[in-house]
Amino acid sequence: MDKTKIIENIKTLASKDINNMYLNDFFLTWEKTDDELDAVFQVAQILKAMRDNNISSKVFDSGLAVSLFRDNSTRTRFSFSSACNLLGLNVQDLDEGKSQVAHGETVRETANMVSFLADVIGIRDDMYLGAGHSYMKEVARSVQQGHEEKVLAQRPTLVNLQCDIDHPTQTMSDALHLINRFGGIDGLKGKKIAMTWAYSPSYGKPLSVPQGIIGLMTRFGMDVRFAYPEGYNVMDDVVEVAMKNANKSGGSFEIASSMQDAFKDADIVYPKSWAPYAVMEKRTDLLRSGDDSGLKDLEKECLENNKKFISWECTRDLMDTTRDGKALYMHCLPADITGVSCRQGEVSADVFDQYRVPMYIQAGYKPYVIAAMIFLSKFKHPGDKLMEVLNRETKRIF
């Protein structure tokens, strides 16, 4: 994308109704309008194009971004760090350990104490069902209150870097990948995508990706097939969201009970392991009560159960059943690759290898998606601001 094309893209922002993004957070994609999601895609592309053209998009001369990861993370941590750096913000880690923090005054106090000069707070909290999203909302309320009470000069924007319900920076990157692959958002209409469970020898993988995918991909008029073994269902609320979305967008949403059904004639496949909702609920209770032996029993039981579905692997044979045998394989990475990272896993080595490059490219959108979310919440007229940034002509590398 050259400068002329960047300007064209910036101009498209003017027609979008995105006033509500200003000074607002990003928690769940289904809380956002189509225009808002579209603006994120657009701004992400523009910021990427600027960087590719050595144009600096730094808009903060100084400013802090608070990062709170309750789980180990390399990819998302670097994506957040890269996004903040691109805009001129400096990341300061808030290290509260992995334990669930208390509620009430402790959350409110900490949220305010770290935010005196903070413009952004990025949180990853996906370990406890029913906790991550609530925690983020509590932090958002705390800083909102702090701002209204004149404790905070500015109201930091929250970005959900993965919670128990959704993983919007991942799924929006996935969607942007598809948009670019299929010639624009309209190119996704009528395309069939299979979001399916897949076997993994590990346990307790979060539900946020499959939930996020069915909650988002149903927005674009796609035929979404969701398949998993018996008992591996996700949150009912999100399934309902997916159904409503499909209805509204003119696509479809169906639950299948085998990879075979879901993959048949699919244009895109996204096979990935997750833990059953019921197991995650039990695990949350055990974690909260600190029942270590209970957790071990649950893990054992769960791994045993997983093994029943060891055949849920994305193989060449399965890929051959997709549209012209050429479906795009997707994964949020890292994947459990049979014979590479484990004995038996989510995907065969040859399928993974074939799609390695598009998967890496898919992951590469995340920093820009995060930067776009921040950008859109910080400027009342993001299009005008991007034009100013462009015309400033500051080089990223001198």
Q: Computed from CA positions of residues 37, 39, 43, 46, in that sequence, does the dihedral angle turn out positive or negative? A: positive
In the complex, what is the shortest distance from the CB of residue 388 to its own copies, in angstroms, rounded to a whole number? 7
Of 64 and 328, nearer to its own copies (C-beta) is 64
Of 221 and 367, nearer to its own copies (C-beta) is 367
In the complex, what is the shortest distance from the CB of residue 150 to its own copies, in angstroms, rounded to a whole number? 7
Q: Residue 84: name the closest of 364, 371, 368 by CA.
A: 371
In the complex, what is the shortest distance from the CB of residue 202 to its own copies, in angstroms, rounded to a whole number? 15
**Interface positions with its own copies (CB under 8 A):** 48, 51-52, 56-64, 66, 74-75, 77-79, 81-82, 85-88, 90-92, 94, 104-106, 109-110, 112-114, 116-119, 146, 149-153, 333-334, 337, 340-341, 357, 360-361, 363-364, 366-367, 378, 385, 388-389, 392, 394-398
Distances (CA, A) of 266 to 3, 214, 259, 323, 364: 36, 15, 11, 5, 24
Distances (CA, A) of 62 to 43, 65, 91, 158, 198: 21, 10, 11, 18, 44
Of 320 and 353, nearer to its own copies (C-beta) is 353
The token pair at 307 is 């093994």
Of 278 and 333, nearer to its own copies (C-beta) is 333
In the complex, what is the shortest distance from the CB of residue 111 to its own copies, in angstroms, rounded to a whole number? 10
The token pair at 8 is 């064209």
Q: Computed from CA positions of residues 241, 244, 249, 254, in that sequence, does the dihedral angle turn out positive or negative? A: positive
For tokens 């591996």, the residue is 232
Of 48 and 192, nearer to its own copies (C-beta) is 48
Q: Are 386 and 43 in contact (CB under 8 A)?
A: yes
For tokens 């390695």, the residue is 356
In the complex, what is the shortest distance from the CB of residue 277 to its own copies, in angstroms, rounded to a whole number? 29
In the complex, what is the shortest distance from the CB of residue 307 to its own copies, in angstroms, rounded to a whole number? 24
Strand 192-196, strand 90-93: pairing:
unpaired
Q: How far is CA 80 from the centre of its chain?
A: 12
Of 130 and 360, nearer to its own copies (C-beta) is 360
Q: Residue 274: name the closest of 323, 238, 249 by CA.
A: 238
Of 58 and 264, nearer to its own copies (C-beta) is 58
In the complex, what is the shortest distance from the CB of residue 71 to its own copies, in angstroms, rounded to a whole number? 14
Which contiguous run of DSSP H or E holds residue 66?
strand 64-69
d(CA 30, CA 220): 12
Strand 268-271, strand 328-329: pairing:
parallel
In the complex, what is the shortest distance from the CB of residue 122 to its own copies, in angstroms, rounded to a whole number? 13
Of 104 and 183, nearer to its own copies (C-beta) is 104
d(CA 153, CA 98): 30
Of 94 and 295, nearer to its own copies (C-beta) is 94
d(CA 25, CA 374): 9
In the complex, what is the shortest distance from the CB of residue 165 to its own copies, in angstroms, rounded to a whole number? 24
In the complex, what is the shortest distance from the CB of residue 94 to its own copies, in angstroms, rounded to a whole number? 7
Q: Are 75 and 131 in contact (CB under 8 A)?
A: no
Of 304 and 393, nearer to its own copies (C-beta) is 393
Amino acid at 395: K
